[in-house]
Amino acid sequence: MNGQQPGGDRAAAHFEPLGPDDPTTVAGYRLGARLGAGGMGKVYLSHTPGGRPVAIKVIRPEFAEDPEFRRRFAQEIRSAQRVQGLYTAPVIDADTDGPRPWLATAYVPGPSLAAAVSAHGTLPVETVLLLVAGIAEALQVIHGAGIVHRDLKPSNVLLASDGPRVIDFGIAHAADATSLTGSGVFVGTPSFMAPEQASGRDVGPATDVFALGLIAAYAAVGAPPFGEGPSHGVLYRIVHEEPELSGVPPRLSELVTRCLAKDPAARPSVAEVIALCRTANDATTLRRPEDWLPAAVTAEISARSAAPAPDLTPPPPTHPPTTPSTAPGGAAAYAPTTPSTPRPPAPPAAAPRTPSAPQPAHPAVSPYAPTQFGAAAPQSAAPLPFQPQHTQHTQQTTGPRAGRRGPAVLAAVLALAVVGGAAVYGLTKGKDTGSGSGSGSGSGASPSASGGTGGARPDPAPADHKGVNLTAGYHLTLGEEPLRPQKGEDGGYELSYDTGGYLDAEGRGGSMVLLDPGQEGSLATCRTETRFTQNVYVDKLGTGRQICLTTGTGHLGLITVRGISPEDSPSTYLTLDVTVWRNGAAGAPSR
């Protein structure tokens, strides 16, 4: 799928207006313009609430209707969210389960390599070497996450002022199993496929190296080495014939020739590709100056940087509001224009009947206050706290006062209602968070968490854990007391410090939100924020940054970074303050 690169030579030409068939919003993202279209769908420009431009890619309906595509797409998105490289456009949000799957990536204000060569001609050798080295660095990160790009081509390489950006990594894998590709619909471009792809054999990292050699030749010559035309002819030449490299500059000849070896085992690794670029560079050391691109391409980058501001006026509703779509892992997708609000408290439900409990000397007003017994409840309210069965008490009334059962029954009903309400108050008083007991997790229990049918639960008391040293390769489980790091980084843990350099919420249904600098973390903030992700890289963190963590078991945690291990430390660790609200997530089950 073409990433972010329509044609044109001025800002207005780079941002196509939305057409009548284009959506105006996607999961709360306001769409401002169309950036392009490709084999897998359309790409739109949007913005985060803070004004950061993003590219929203909406998958074609034909793919969305294929269950196997959706399964693979979800798997690839989870993997792609782990890729955080200098030369990749990171995936920041996605929905794999909605009617139209989509993903959001960082917007790169630059043309694709295909658009630049088409509009401005071939690139100088020095630029090609820097381009190939940057793409090779991107492939190191992508392959390190267990992903093979499979569709590396000039239109999936964007040119930015500080280097190239590789986009759409891994997405072609999701389309491989669909009925569309099985019936002859190509997601990739035949001119940039490897022989093993063209012949239907297994692909691997070497497949992307072959494509990188094709890209190097294309950037220097302006045409793919195996030509263009009908796909079957191109694929035949890739498998059985040698590439046309007569126009490749001598300094690029060894690099391109080795990458285009028919045998995947004979191709260089991406690390060797970078070394070949260094060897071919006259200065022997690659240095990327600000003017690494030709002046015409740099001018186009400046024009594309003037992204049109989003229309902040929401369109009139054309259909009833729907539930926000979900992101991978079951978390609600980031909806910047539709912030969520705390769920209103539920009405009180029936309390257990406990007539034998003692009555406190000074009963306080509570949700079970006897003075509310006779009030008329609205139709939507839950049952009254206590409703005695009149027949039971009248049958027990015997003796001389049996003839006065009417007043006696009434008096018994009122007395028993008082005793029942006071008993519930006495049972819950010691566990109410307002008691100030400060007893850790026990003080956070609510009436419903104590075994009753419960009503609106009070907020759980926070359990603070200061100075937790979480070492890379270890994890935390918020429900544990005391909270101590345990060894293991990949096993469905609630919060782990992965040795790859990121915090991971991989537990079933778990998610994280990285709060903005200066944003104050609290229970209310963590309940309402919806900018969900599964992991946060440590290089994005600094002292004082906070993360809201929601576990699949219903706990909420506020993670505050207090320190990062120095470079000369024998171990890699984060020093964290962790505040836990057990069962504090909105809608969490009572425990």
Can you list the alpha helix ranges (DSSP code H) found in 19-124?
Answer: 61-64, 67-80, 113-120
Q: Are 394 and 401 in contact (CB under 8 A)?
A: no
- Give the C-alpha separation, 537 to 517, whole Å: 15
- Torsion, CA 53, CA 54, CA 60, CA 61, rounded to 10: -90
**Tell me, what DSSP letter sits at residue 84?**
-
Cα separation, 553 vs 101, in Å, equals 27
Q: What is the DSSP letter of 432?
A: -
DSSP secondary structure of 497-546: EETTTEEE--STT-EEEEPPTTPPP-HHHHHH----BSEEEGGG--TT-E
Which residue is catalytic, options 95, 151, 168, 208? 151
Cα–Cα distance measured from residue 548 to residue 507, given in angstroms and rounded to the nearest whole number: 15
Contacts of 149 (CB under 8 A, 6+ apart): 139, 142, 156, 166, 168, 169, 170, 172, 208, 211
Tokens 């004004």, residue located: 51
Q: Which residues contact 370 (CB under 8 A, 6 or more apart)?
A: 363, 417, 418, 421, 422
Cα(412)–Cα(239) distance, rounded to whole angstroms?
Answer: 94
Under 8 Å CB-to-CB from 320, ≥6 apart: which residues?
none
Q: Can you tell me whether residue 398 is helix, strand or coil? A: coil
- Rounded distance between C-alpha atoms, residue 462 and residue 276, angstroms: 56
CA-to-CA dists, residue 407 to 391, 403, 413, angstroms:
14, 10, 10
Which amino acid would we find at residue 501? Answer: G
Q: Is 44 exposed, middle or buried (0-12, 13-18, 19+ CB in 10 A)?
A: buried
* Distance, CA of 63 to CA of 66 (rounded, Å): 5
Beta bridge partners of 546: 560
Residue pair 438/461 in contact (Cβ under 8 Å)? The answer is yes
Q: How many CB atoms lie within 10 A of CB 512?
A: 23
Closest C-alpha to 267, from 139, 425, 432, 395 = 139
CA dist., res. 27 & res. 326, Å (int): 9
Q: What angle do CA 561, 563, 565 make, to 5 degrees?
A: 130
| Residue written as token pair 């186009």 | 300
Task: Give catalytic status of residue 151 as yes or no.
Answer: yes
Of 334, 337, 341, which is closest to residue 514 (Cα–Cα)? 334
Torsion of CA 186, 188, 194, 199, to 10 degrees: -20
Catalytic residue numbers read 151
